Structure 1
Amino acid sequence: MIECVSAVVDGKSEAFRLTKLMLEEPRPDEIVVEIVGVGICHTDIVVRDQHYPTPLPAVLGHEGAGVVVKVGSAVTKVVPGDHVVLAYGSCGKCENCQKGEAGYCLDFFGYNFGGSRSDGSTPFHSEDGKRISGCFFCQSSFGTHALATERNVVKVDKEVPLEILGPLGCGISTGAGTVMNALRPIAGTSIAVFGAGSVGLAAIMAAKVVGCTTIIAIDINEERLALAKELGATHTINGRSGDAVSTIQRLTDGLGVHYSLECTSIPAVFRQAVDSLRLTGVCALVGAAALGTEVSLDMNSILFGRTVRGVIEGESVPDTFIPQLISLWKQGRFPFDKLITFYQLDEINQACADSESGKVLKPVLRPGQKR
């Protein structure tokens, strides 16, 4: 057993508490990682509040980055001392995984939200032997150590600051990948991003990288809109100042945008993202709403060649996409680190509150930091 300190949520919407846990030794295909930095994602908060029913008590966290300390007997991808980013889990065996579409793994929910390994076991236990749900996104990285699988670790360049890389495992890859992997806009096209949080801002940076020439950011936070302009948006719209759809129509000569992203999880905003499309335009839904959330759309609008589609994890293959984003960061073309605010592990509840209030964009916990 490996002794670690983790942030545990015991019940629905309760505060995280730091506690000492025992982490099992890695099985043949597993890897123990000492966490250097872990981002807090909207999905962590959604699960804390039980909008997705991961069993509690649980160790959450799914944007971890750290140093490999132990590997299972069958692992060949990494060795102790390697720097890694932890991505999402998938089976690797189903039809979609075999096609390179691991984000749509037929058991995606089980591997990422089930709270256990596929055999029902969990690697975390309290000191008195109580079972604690783990394996969240095949990592549960809100703590000093995480247990991942060979499939969801991505080896990265040791010259890059490891503490900033965790968000590439989910939120940043989701925003950037939705543009670069799913929508694939050609140079010169237009895109509107509804929600200038970390996912939306990553999408804006990616839209600039691929050559979109009209990049519109929509939010209700003026500071976020100012940052969106700095990161590549050509126009910004405050959703409280008027009709975003009519403003987008005006900015696009009455045609609408080629592409839109909905990052807020708000049905009314989703409707705006669809209504802002031109004929044959595509709206990508990436915001994670509570199960059962519904939206109303104009069927005749969709009839005229418009497409609405969901996108999971930016449709990225982490082993190739995360290094690509790191290369763009090195060149100064994808400055995702501007979104990050650091916290210590024992400040996790404050970090969550600051994220929910909009005070910060991407909180990153540093478990190894001391006061």
Structure 2
Amino acid sequence: MKAAVLKAYGEPLAIEEVSEPDPAEHGVVVETEACGICRSDWHAWQGHGEWADDQVPVGQILGHEPAGRVAAVGERVESVRESDRIAVPFNLGRGHCGYCRNGHGNVCENGIALGFEEAAPGAFAERVHVPYADYNAVHLPDGVSPVEMAGLGCRFVTAYHALAHRADLTPGDWVAVHGCGGVGLSAVHVADALGANVVAVDVDDAKLDRARELGADETIDARGEDVPATIRTRVGGAHVSVDALGIAETCRNSVDCLRRQGQHVQLGLTTDEERGEVSLPTDAMTMREITFIGSRGMPPSRYGELLRMLERGALSPEKLVTKTVSLADVPARLAAMSEFETTGIEVVEFSS
């Protein structure tokens, strides 16, 4: 089968023939129908993450936002059958530890990350193996297309988990979103669907326009602006603020724009400039009772509520999908992210 393989950091992925996976006794093999192209793939391609013992190994098949149809089933799998249509969270739990049993499989003690670890080859491939399928496979409702579900990917579910489960968000709150890439635009759309008011911040006019289309009440062009001061002037400060980019400037702006007892949510991962470390005003955070929240993916046990919102039209991830491409296009689309030339969510669509 064909797959996109990391051969060297920063060099174009190789589209080459690799061996097809066989299902483990607890796993299934999925015929990939669609897979989102995420900025986390870009981080992996660049070789980021060594400072957090999270560097993707050379030789890895990337891709972690798949949807498809089950092609083969391991002998111990009980809840998944051949031809089932499923989506797959990138944060794969085993279903047995205390975190998994309590609905927090995204931080499983022995979890693995699809597309980022040698034990879990990714979904920029015609077929992908999903371990512990009884826990990780998310059945798709009728009417949800593979491209739409791949659009949910890690970015949309990450934004949803962050705002619906991690932050204490109340309808009517002001949510600031710093960075309007895929996860940032997802956060804008999710916050709006949850009844919040949204301020979107970016330096790109097209991305700010898209943020308004997805529900942003206010937008701020960060070029030449004092972002925290502008947010405080316009809306009195944010109740919840999301750093969806991961650079020092957006992280600090996110913290500084909060009103008292505000909540900062960190979604963006740092680059080799920050190397996982950002300086923060801890004394001011203490005095104002600011909460700093980390959030990663979403446990598969919570997908049902998100899918129900899709079914009743409260969320529309397809609105964020701006381009569908072929597997052969993946190296170029990752390179485009280096100059922030992509808008919204791009999805690899595999021919049947």
TM score, norm. by length of structure 2:
0.91
What SS does the aligned partner of 1:23 have? Answer: coil
Equivalence for 2:83: 81
**Shift of residue 271 of structure 1?**
0.5
Between 287-296 and 105-114, the greater mean CA deviation after superposition? 105-114
Q: Which moved more, 1:94-103 or 1:191-200?
A: 94-103
How far 1:319 sits from its partner (Å)? 4.0
- Aligned letter for 1:261? V
Residue by residue over 1:19-52, the C-alpha shift from the partner in whole angstroms, topping out at 9 and shown as x without a partner, is 1111232121110100110001111111111113
**Higher-RCO chain (CA-CA 8 Å, sequence separation at least 6):** 2
2:100 aligned with 1:107: no
Corresponding residue SS for 1:113? coil
1:63 to 56, 62, 65: 65
Conservation of the 8 A alpha-carbon contact between 1:195 and 1:219 = yes
Q: Quick one: which of 169, 172, 176 aligns to 2:156?
A: 172
1:171-210 aligned at under 5 Å gives the runs 171-210=155-194
Cα distance change, pair 198–294 in 1 and its aligned pair in 2 (3 A): same
Q: CA deviation at 1:364?
A: 0.5
Q: Which runs of 5+ in 2 are unaligned?
A: 50-54
Residue in structure 2 matching 1:260, options 231, 238, 241: 241
Partner of 1:307: 291
Conserved? CA contact 2:60–2:115, under 8 Å: no
In 1: Cα distance, 2:124 partner to 2:62 partner: 6
CA distance in 2, matches of 1:145, 1:110: 17
CA contact (8 A) 2:115 2:123 kept: no
Could you tell me whether the CA contact under 8 Å between 1:355 and 1:363 is conserved in 2?
no
Tell me the distance in 1 between the aligned counterparts of 2:66 and 2:168.
Answer: 27
Partner SS, residue 225 of structure 2: coil
Indicate conservation of the 8 Å contact 2:28/2:73, yes or no. yes
Secondary structure of residue in 1 paired with 2:263: strand
Question: In the TM superposition, what is the alpha-carbon distance from 1:242 to its structure 2 partner?
Answer: 1.0
1:230-241 to 2 correspondence within 5 Å?
230-241=213-224
Deviation at 1:61, TM superposition (A): 0.6
Instruction: Name the SS of the counterpart of 1:66 in structure 2.
Output: strand
* Aligned residues: CA RMSD: 1.8
SS of the counterpart of 2:239?
Answer: strand
What is the DSSP-based 3-state SS (H/G/I as helix, E as strand, rest coil) of the residue aligned with 2:18?
strand
Structure 1 contact 30–148 (Cα < 8 Å) conserved: yes
Deviation at 1:109, TM superposition (A): 5.7
Query: Structure 1 residue 75: deviation in Å?
Result: 0.8
**What is the aligned counterpart of 2:328 among 333, 341, 346?**
346
Q: Structure 1 length normalisation: TM-score?
A: 0.86
Partner of 2:52: none
1:145 and 2:108 matched = no
- Could you tell me the percent identity over the aligned residues? 26
- Moved runs in structure 1, 4+ residues, more than 6 A? none
More divergent stretch after superposition (216-225 vs 23-32):
23-32
Corresponding letter in the other structure for 2:249: A
2:92 alignment partner, SS class = coil
Q: Which residue of 2 aligns with 1:251?
A: 234
User: Which string of whole-angstrom CA distances, capped at 9 and with x for unpartnered residues, describes residues 158-202 of structure 1?
Assistant: 322122212323111011221111114111211101111111111
Partner amino acid for 2:118?
G
Q: Give the conservation status (yes or no) of the 8 Å contact 2:6–2:45.
A: yes
Cα pair distance change 1:361/1:85, threshold 3 Å: same
Distance across 1 between alignment mates of 2:270 and 2:108: 20
Instruction: Please give the alpha-carbon distance, in whole angstroms, between the structure 1 residues aligned to 2:140 and 2:26.
Output: 19
* Deviation sequence 1:288-340 (CA, Å, 0-9, x none): 12473211111221112111121111xx332432x433332343322221221
Structure 1 residue runs of 5 or longer lacking an equivalent are 117-134
Aligned length: 339
| CA–CA separation in structure 2 for the residues paired with 1:109 and 1:74 | 20
Per the alignment, residue 218 of structure 1 pairs with 201
Cα separation, 1, equivalents of 2:4 and 2:162: 30
Cα distance in 2 for residues equivalent to 1:144 and 1:220: 36
Say whether the 8 Å CA contact 1:355–1:362 is kept in structure 2.
no
**Do 1:259 and 1:283's aligned partners in 2 also have CA atoms closer than 8 Å?**
yes
